[in-house]
Chains A and B, each alone.
Chain A
């Protein structure tokens, strides 16, 4: 199959929309977003107008039905946002609206997707709990069937977008909700896990906010469900399918995140390099010294490789959608892409902030801020170590591992 790294003219034009949006609406205000820990609602509304919240939703529900490679390319532009808030909102909506489109009942799709496509409703994901992160099976939240409703109980923590989903009418006209991971049958192990859409606007749900070191602007916190009732058709996928659906959709999120990390770090490196070209020490602009140049070269090589691996993972997802690529191959590439991008990005930002010396230590400095925000991917959407577990498992081979670890 021919290898062509070029993107289509249409993809370029779609990227141009996202790029212009970031230049005009986000760059002038990112410091404010970070300082006040709030995205101005006008910015979210402009994202909605541009169609950024409907990219993964099928045309029949009012979305654009773009493939994940194109969605990733759009994310590349949004990744310029030094606050990280805009890419976060975009990513979660793209992946979770897609889950609903692919696995939700027709009733649920009709209720949520047209609004989501317009940017009137936002969808996040609620998996993590105080006692469960990487170990999904250790969650404690439950959903009990009563007639044609589910009754949910549990506490989710470190969830993005709880405030934007709860406060209907502020950022999103209808507020939003989270595709929530719960046990519908504790006796069946991971085959007893289901996904249920929980509207955070429900008055019985309480939220709390945490204070992250990075990725400020979009809320991050938790929500508690105390006998929260939702109609049965809010379940996404069949009962017991939740774990598998969650895993396959993490793949998409991870591939996009990989591109986001590579792009954001490249921009940060450019900022640090601009500084190094101007800052003089010992008679020269410091970019003249090979100490800095060798670091720059190494990081540039790594980020370029991360970028290519991310594109490959997105390409694999596109092929999987067309039925031409196996699921485990996609999982392996997506995990590899995210893991690699994260590792090289952290190293690059460590050096880039050091080139800027003390100037690299304020929250107003986009490079310092990127250093804090990229670090969140150590645990967000699949920890770095889980990425290693996945790659090792796929490369060694599940069959061999099953013989050694029969409980796999």
Chain B
């Protein structure tokens, strides 16, 4: 069969390092070490498994500052064949709408180059913003169907995929016409550790850099100015235990006391 799969990968600040912020409250991505968004790894794994079964080509796209190449090499080592890095100063500060617009423009250019794209895959969310917007928003810009929170791809043909999707309390099975955007959860696809040879080979896989102009992007639609939402504040919550012990020899009374405490804290529980 042979599929052309595009994988969206977000280079994110290393979760193991403390975050750095710019004066305007946004993340100072340029000064932080970037790694592959861990949520994108199952998506790459799913794409690689499809390629191993059906053949084809996997192209990755990242919108990030130039030093994201280290994170991109992680994805190349996992099995992505080549990468496009969309990088431009004017993209800084973009919210998800602006970002998905820019990515969609890059995909359109890639579509012209490749002739066809069968699937666009990405993780369900990013580890630094967790909005889960990019997959579905990119689909909207491109006029494509999208399915998010996919546990497993059950069946693949040239025309459609059948997928098992996670919903609250269960699953749903969907048949989706291709091309489509699929966001992959980490429940079934366990990302493989790249081999030493994969890591060495990744160094010679092509990474093409595109600017906003290269993809015919409208500057007014990106960056802070193109973002209808603005990040006001981001901070790390401190988790501390209250350490309060509720005592009462009667367990029912103790539970009542506990519920009172929770109510005072603004946590209401439905009690039948």
| Residues on the B chain within 8 Å of A9, using CB | 70
Bound-complex Cα distance A14 to B203 (A): 12
A212 CB within 8 Å of chain B: no
| Residues on the A chain within 8 Å of B193, using CB | 17, 20-21, 24, 46, 50
**Majority SS of interface residues in chain A?**
helix
Bound-complex Cα distance A51 to B196 (A): 6
Interface string of B221-248 (1 = CB under 8 A from A): 0000000000000000000000000000
Cβ-closest chain A residue relative to B73: A13
| Residues on the B chain within 8 Å of A46, using CB | 193
**Majority SS of interface residues in chain B?**
helix
Interface string of B88-106 (1 = CB under 8 A from A): 0000000000000000000
Cβ-closest chain A residue relative to B190: A24
| Residues on the A chain within 8 Å of B73, using CB | 13
Cβ-closest chain A residue relative to B70: A9
- For A13, A51, A74, which residue has the most chain B Cβ atoms within 10 angstroms? A13
Bound-complex Cα distance A136 to B169 (A): 69
Residue in A24, A50, A66, A74 whose beta carbon sits within 8 Å of that of B195 in the complex = A50
Please give 16 more A-B residue pairs, beta carbons under 8 A apart, in addition to A10-B203, A20-B193.
A13-B199, A16-B199, A17-B193, A17-B194, A46-B193, A49-B195, A50-B193, A50-B195, A50-B196, A51-B195, A51-B197, A52-B196, A55-B196, A64-B200, A66-B196, A74-B196
**Could you list 30 examples of A-B contacts with CB < 8 Å?**
A9-B70, A10-B199, A10-B200, A10-B203, A13-B73, A13-B77, A13-B199, A13-B202, A14-B196, A14-B199, A14-B200, A16-B199, A17-B193, A17-B194, A17-B195, A17-B196, A17-B199, A24-B193, A46-B193, A49-B195, A50-B193, A50-B195, A50-B196, A51-B195, A51-B196, A64-B196, A64-B197, A64-B200, A66-B196, A74-B196
Cβ-closest chain B residue relative to A65: B200
Bound-complex Cα distance A66 to B194 (A): 17
Interface string of A41-65 (1 = CB under 8 A from B): 0000010011110010000000010
Number of chain B interface residues as a range: 10 to 19
Bound-complex Cα distance A85 to B28 (A): 43
List 10 tightest A-B contacts by C-beta distance, closest first.
A51-B196, A13-B199, A51-B195, A50-B195, A20-B193, A51-B197, A17-B196, A14-B196, A21-B193, A14-B199
Interface residues of B in 177-211 (CB under 8 A from A): 193-197, 199-200, 202-203
Interface residues of A in 1-48 (CB under 8 A from B): 9-10, 13-14, 16-17, 20-21, 24, 46
Bound-complex Cα distance A175 to B90 (A): 59
Interface string of A208-222 (1 = CB under 8 A from B): 000000000000000
Bound-complex Cα distance A52 to B199 (A): 13
Cβ-closest chain B residue relative to A46: B193
Interface string of B113-154 (1 = CB under 8 A from A): 000000000000000000000000000000000000000000
Interface string of A127-170 (1 = CB under 8 A from B): 00000000000000000000000000000000000000000000
Least Cβ–Cβ distance between A23 and chain B, in angstroms: 9
| Residues on the B chain within 8 Å of A16, using CB | 199
Least Cβ–Cβ distance between A262 and chain B, in angstroms: 22
| Residues on the A chain within 8 Å of B200, using CB | 10, 14, 64
Cβ-closest chain B residue relative to A9: B70
